[in-house]
Amino acid sequence: MNDEAEKLESPLPRHVAVIMDGNGRWATQHGLPRVAGHRAGVKSARLIVEACAEAQVETLTLFAFSSENWQRPVDEVNALMRLFIEVLQREVATLHKNDVRLRFIGARENLPTILQKRIEDAEHATAANQRMTLVLAVAFGGRWDIVQAARRIAAKVRAGEIDVQDIDDAVVARHLSLAGLGDPDLLIRTGGEKRVSNFLLWDLAYSEIQFSDTLWPDFDRSDLDDAFAFFGSRQRRFGRVGIPKEASVD
């Protein structure tokens, strides 16, 4: 069996999450300002959204801006905010035409007012779409997500809506940002770094993780195919004892 046939036959993840890393280093390598790397990264994001939709991935979550990214130089942060606004203005109509639903997670109250409005409009315009859900994590952090879930649950306990003894994994999951979308089956991190960088800390508990050396602006469909092939080669046990691949069931 050739490599392409194996890729086609491998099981695909239903939910893919991506840490899009390497924009700044890509720009430096090309003698360009860092914002040029972020702009180049938008093209890769568009390509991967299209590829995942074609592959019938149900949910694609992209880590666009972390809680910690506010600590970057003011000029870079401002440029990123302008880029987010520009991209939303340009891309939402195409996503809607292709039946992709947009959902944003993160502390949106910390974002510029105009960006908050664009986010709200984009979510409203695409709310009924069903082909794929594209989640953009903006001003997001995994620890922030768990803290805000704890606050919501505590408020419900205080209001008598939840008994403390009834709090379990399912209750916590229902109050996290990805509620209703399921945990990522596959996390891809580009750029060569090997850490999760405060992304979806609860949700990634049993995700398969593929670290790619490719810088995000250079990440293309062949890199995505490699990630899917990696996922297809994994035996997902979720803490249980695995079954050897050569074993058969009568």
Are 224 and 48 spatial neighbours (Cβ–Cβ below 8 Å)? yes
Q: Which residues contact 92 (CB under 8 A, 6 or more apart)?
A: 102, 121, 122, 125, 126
Q: Which of 21, 145, 183, 223 is labelled catalytic?
A: 21
Catalytic residue status for 198: no
Looking at 23, 69, 99, 213, which residue is catalytic? 69
Neighbouring-strand partners of residue 136: 62, 104
- Phi, psi (deg, nearest 5) at residue 230: -60, -45
Strand order of the β-sheet with 15-19 is 100-105, 132-140, 59-66, 15-19, 186-189, 208-211
Catalytic residue status for 75: no
- Of 153, 78, 157, which Cα lies nearest the Cα of 111? 78
Is 47 buried (19+), middle (13-18) or exposed (0-12) by CB count in 10 A?
middle
Reported as type and span, the H/E element at residue 39 is helix 34-54
Indicate which residues carry an active-site annotation: 21, 69
